[in-house]
Structure 1
Amino acid sequence: MPIASLIPGDSPRLDGQDTEHVARLAELDEQFPPILVDRRTMRVIDGMHRLLAACLRGQDTIEAEFFDGTPEEAFLRAVEANVTHGLPLSQEDRRAAAARIVEAHPQMSDRAIAKASGLGTKSVASIRRSMAPLQDQPTARIGRDGKVRPLNSAEGRRRAAELIAENPGASLREVARRAGISPATVSDVRKRLLSGELPITERRRAAVAASSTDGGLPAAAARIPAQRTVRKVRLVEPDPVELLDKLIRDPSLRHKEDGRHLLRLLQQNALGNQMWHKLAAVVPTHCRDLVVDLARQYAETWNEFAQELDENLLASRREARVPPQGVGMGA
């Protein structure tokens, strides 16, 4: 694409391009990855440093990919691209970008915006609170997986409790889909019901009460009686190293490629508390938000993996209790 036909785009960098970084790129003896250009306006969405470096090299053309979308979508793409590669955005750049994304895409969840901007979820939530009153916020948000979830899951928890009561064998994902909440929330509701507790926690009920416009509980929450106090006992967790040793000795895992892969993943996570503290201490300040986001993503992945194993275990137990068809129960 001719360089003369391109126009500088809306950069998420508050101070503009870094001339030293441009000079370093110009000295490299390699071809640059394609820049991203808005097809409609010919504005550069991602790759201004590469474009300026190409000019320093004396190039007349540069490889480019086209983007089709609105200006708001183009800015979001620019932020995502600058977070994942190239010269890192500063903390001020990321916070300013997150504020613009919240304003242009209020339906996006805090986690989705955090991933796009390279901030922590709590930082995005703080920025959102400072920008608009609670009553002006959307009632639902779109997560990183593209699914729409309500901000207040109290009604979803109540609906999940009803679905579990109607069909105790339903999977977490099925109940989550019908109730409009996450599988993790459904799992929490099921555990609370099994222990004799209500599906909605005291803290959540208090939040629902505080967010009601008339100062009272909404009709659905007002019908929930006061929850009895449950004394929680923290169990002594087994040593992960001992549990891992048992799994390593199991031939059904050791003799399969996927089983060995699972064992390697488990070994990488089998660290003591002291080692985790040491790892936390070596993370530099400018990388902390990114490491926090990655750690939470990995924790969610392991949690979903545990939930799937739970579902498989429940399904196998149900199958074991159901006699095969055609087999009599005896006289």
Structure 2
Amino acid sequence: MNQSSAAHDASHDPRIERVPISSLLPGDSPRSEGQDQKHIARLAEIEEPLPPILVERRSMRVIDGIHRLLAMVLRGQETIEVEFFDGSTEDAFLRGVTANVTHGLPLSHADRKAAAARIVTSHPHMSDRAIARASGLGAKTVAAIRRMSSDAGTCVNARVGSDGKVRPLNSAEGRLKAAEVLAERPEASLREVARLAGISPATVSDVRKRIALGELPVTVRADAPAPHKDTDTPAQEPGVRGNRGPRRLEQVDPTPVLKKLLRDPSLRHNEEGRNLLRLLQQNALAMSSELTVVVPPHCRELVVKLARQYAETWYEFAMELDKRTQDASRREA
């Protein structure tokens, strides 16, 4: 749909209103270098009606469309069509960045990174991928920006993805909640328990298997003390029939395993396979207790949270691979 058609359709949209230009104020723009006068002049020369601009109703500040507004001023127009936005100042900025990324004059890379840094702080519950989509960056770039932020994410236990779903950063609490739900409602489906506990159905399935084996629903350190309700009576984990402790994982020397994987053409000859190999190599290099001494005291809590999150991600990855192997074995039997 071209701009003329869009503007024509917008004129019949009940959300669109025509307001005096004099009633509007410049908004909080993500553009560090201000307006582009050449772009304004080009818009002013377009004879067809321009699409409505986006305005924060409470403050009458322009969220998106300042170039269109100034083009109308250049034309000598006194009114302009606007779509009103109702929400917080932080949400208005997010909406403005998203609009600037998806149409109109593109934001510079530096402006997109600065906008992402601001969104990370104002919307810490948004996932890296969701912020990346809003700011026109890659998820890895947003993750790096989040790591450098001193304020965002330190007290956040879950994030909202680009699909609107809430996912916990550390699923230990979710696993314990799932164990409680399974104990109270053993007939509940995996999806229902997952929804109540805020974790994935695959994680619920693992919790159910652990409970059936008499194990804890979460993996704990071998040297971690058992939780107590008081000083005399040990606490029983919800939904656990016995407290035998976590399973001992099979220990392997990563060097020969990696050498074998690196020679496998099915992994080497496609991009996703090469990405997996790089991740495995990086993790093998990082698995050293000597690295603990380089972490400064003020960063230890954050590094612990990240390490536990990565460990949980790898564990669920391993569980999914193990499930696929077992499914394949059953089909062959």
The offset of 1:36, in angstroms, is 0.8
The offset of 1:30, in angstroms, is 1.8
Cα distance in 2 for residues equivalent to 1:56 and 1:217: 72
Determine whether 1:42 maps to 2:60.
yes
Cα distance, 1:21–1:143 mapped onto 2, change above 3 Å: same
Cα distance, 1:104–1:62 mapped onto 2, change above 3 Å: same
Cα distance, 1:118–1:195 mapped onto 2, change above 3 Å: farther
2:52 maps to amino acid? P
Residue 70 of structure 2: aligned partner: 52
- Secondary structure class of the residue paired with 2:110: helix
Determine whether 1:65 maps to 2:88.
no
2:193 maps to amino acid? V
Residue 24 of structure 2: aligned partner: 6
Q: Residue 145 of structure 2 is aligned with which of 114, 127, 136?
A: 127
User: Cα deviations across residues 134-165 of structure 1 (Å, max 9, x unaligned)?
Assistant: 88332333344545443210232344366568
Q: Residue 115 of structure 1 is aligned with which of 133, 157, 182?
A: 133
Determine whether 1:225 maps to 2:240.
no
The structure with higher relative contact order (CA 8 Å, sep 6+) is 1
Gaps of 5+ in 2: 1-18, 229-236, 238-242, 258-265, 272-333
Residue 153 of structure 1: aligned partner: 171
Q: TM-score, normalised by structure 2?
A: 0.55
- Secondary structure class of the residue paired with 1:7: coil
Cα distance, 1:166–1:5 mapped onto 2, change above 3 Å: closer
The offset of 1:105, in angstroms, is 2.3
1:286-301 map, 5 Å? none
CA contact (8 A) 1:192 1:198 kept: yes
Determine whether 1:83 maps to 2:83.
no
Determine whether 1:105 maps to 2:123.
yes
Residue 30 of structure 1: aligned partner: 48
Q: TM-score, normalised by structure 1?
A: 0.56
Cα distance in 2 for residues equivalent to 1:114 and 1:219: 40
Cα distance in 1 for residues equivalent to 2:20 and 2:270: 51
Cα distance, 1:40–1:163 mapped onto 2, change above 3 Å: closer
CA contact (8 A) 1:7 1:43 kept: yes
1:73 maps to amino acid? D
CA contact (8 A) 2:126 2:159 kept: yes
- Secondary structure class of the residue paired with 1:63: strand
User: Cα deviations across residues 32-82 of structure 1 (Å, max 9, x unaligned)?
Assistant: 111011222221111011112222333222111112222222111111211
CA contact (8 A) 1:198 1:227 kept: no
CA contact (8 A) 1:38 1:66 kept: yes
1:195-234 map, 5 Å? 219=227, 225-229=245-249
Determine whether 1:74 maps to 2:92.
yes
